Amino acid sequence: MLLSKQKKPLGLYIHIPFCKSKCEYCDFCSFVPNGTSVIEHYTDALILQMEDWADRCRSYEIDSVFFGGGTPTFLDSKHLLRILNAMYDNFHVTKKAEITVECNPATADFKSLRRLRRAGVNRLSLGLQSANENELAALGRIHSFKDFQNSYEDARRAGFENISVDLMYGIPEQTEKSFAHTLSAVTSLGPDHISLYALKIENNTPFAQKKDTLNLPDDDAVYNMYVKAVQYLAAKGYDRYEISNFAKQGAACLHNLKYWHCDEYLGLGASAHSYFGGERFATTRRVKDYIDGMEIINNDIKVVVESDKIDSHESMEEYVMLGMRLDEGVNIHDFEQRFGVSFVEKYGKLLDEYIDDGFVKKDDESYSFTTDGMFVSNFILSSVLDLDSDSPDSEN
């Protein structure tokens, strides 16, 4: 009997760089398109890139897909369905694959959500950020809380059984009380997953330019928001499984877990990052270069702008940096099996210094952060791993 060779698991990230309008804090690769022609060309370019990668992915099966942005649902269903169909044509996507689409309230109606659900999308990530209108306005969001409620209900009616909601803390106009209101309003709807990110003011954003005039909560208030949110969400049945991510039982995001477990993933589209075949690489953030590079064979246009073979020291550092983000932390036996090096000898002794202060905990199996440790995790990891760091837990 001929045994079929076992395929390796792979995550697929697809970047859609379009938004209806630009939020004031955002430095993601996204822009407001001028007309539909760029959307047509971008869709064509994504499909060409899938065709290019199809052969190299024959020995893989895709078990998670994440459409991020930008705002993927800014594309109409026609374009999203073309991309989804090309994905099914070019890759082996498992029947049980988690397929997530990020969606902004006010960019998708019931019909388009139902089309996505029928096309195999089974997880929706709704960007809300706050349930308070003055905070949404300060962020430059295009939707109200009511818009979010409508989208949430439409998504449930369209058959989405797995919905995540993105929230932010430490944002202008926010107080501990108003943040508590956001948490209460969102959990009362019963989403399956909540992501909670601290605002980080990025260079080259409108927020950076008017930083001194923003009415931001102070550091103590921001710390209290995070600590109280962890307690509140736990009481509502949401386990924190990563610094910024909380899930009901069985609803942790499988795609994002790949990043934190250092598993392989392929990123398609402008600004997408990949970890594939022991190499990390990223495509250009310049959407025009990406489209031209895919449509025209021209060696002057660089689609892949960063590429790095990861050596074993870098691999270990990444594994610790990403693994320590998880509530379960780094398993010392898994680490030793993967790298043939003692975790306790290499990193454990340095992390031990933070145990007495209540930032790190350990047992016979693993090292992990406490809640206080998670809040200052970047600082601790930068001392242990010699990495640069400028603020606690900010990735948004």
- How far is residue 165's CA from residue 171's CA, in Å, rounded to a whole number? 17
Q: Which residue of 22, 181, 285, 302 would you call a contact of ligand SF4, by CB under 6 A?
A: 22
Q: Does 69 bind ligand SF4 (CB under 6 A)?
A: yes
Nearest residue (CB) to ligand SF4, 216 versus 380? 216
Q: Which two tokens stand for residue 167?
A: 């929230």
Q: Which two tokens stand for residue 130?
A: 């706050």
Q: Does 106 bind ligand SF4 (CB under 6 A)?
A: no
CA dist list (Å): 63 to 12, 281, 337: 8, 21, 24
- How far is residue 233's CA from residue 165's CA, in Å, rounded to a whole number? 13
CB of 295 to ligand SF4, least distance (A): 24
CB of 148 to ligand SF4, least distance (A): 13
- How far is residue 89's CA from residue 128's CA, in Å, rounded to a whole number? 33
Q: Does 70 bind ligand SF4 (CB under 6 A)?
A: yes
Q: Which residue of 28, 91, 148, 152 would you call a contact of ligand SF4, by CB under 6 A?
A: 28
Binding residues for ligand SF4, how many (CB under 6 A)?
Answer: 11
Burial of 95 (0-12, 13-18, 19+ CB in 10 A): exposed
Q: Does 38 bind ligand SF4 (CB under 6 A)?
A: no
Q: Which residue of 10, 12, 14, 23 would you call a contact of ligand SF4, by CB under 6 A?
A: 23
CB of 221 to ligand SF4, least distance (A): 23
Residue with tokens 């022609």, as numbered in its chain: 37
Q: Does 104 bind ligand SF4 (CB under 6 A)?
A: yes
- How far is residue 245's CA from residue 261's CA, in Å, rounded to a whole number? 15
Nearest residue (CB) to ligand SF4, 28 versus 281? 28
Stretch that binds ligand SF4, among 3-11, 25-33, 321-329, 387-395 (CB under 6 A): 25-33
Q: Does 285 bind ligand SF4 (CB under 6 A)?
A: no
Q: Does 39 bind ligand SF4 (CB under 6 A)?
A: no
Nearest residue (CB) to ligand SF4, 199 versus 303? 199
Nearest residue (CB) to ligand SF4, 23 versus 330? 23
What sign has the CA pseudo-torsion 167, 171, 175, 178? negative
Q: Does 208 bind ligand SF4 (CB under 6 A)?
A: no
Residue with tokens 């043939």, as numbered in its chain: 340
Overall residue count recorded for the chain in this entry: 396
Burial of 236 (0-12, 13-18, 19+ CB in 10 A): middle
Q: Does 359 bind ligand SF4 (CB under 6 A)?
A: no
b/e per residue 3-23 (b: at least 16 CB within 10 A): eeeeeebbbbbbbbbbbeebb
Nearest residue (CB) to ligand SF4, 15 versus 117? 15
Residues that bind ligand SF4 (CB under 6 A): 19, 22-23, 26, 28, 30, 69-71, 104, 127
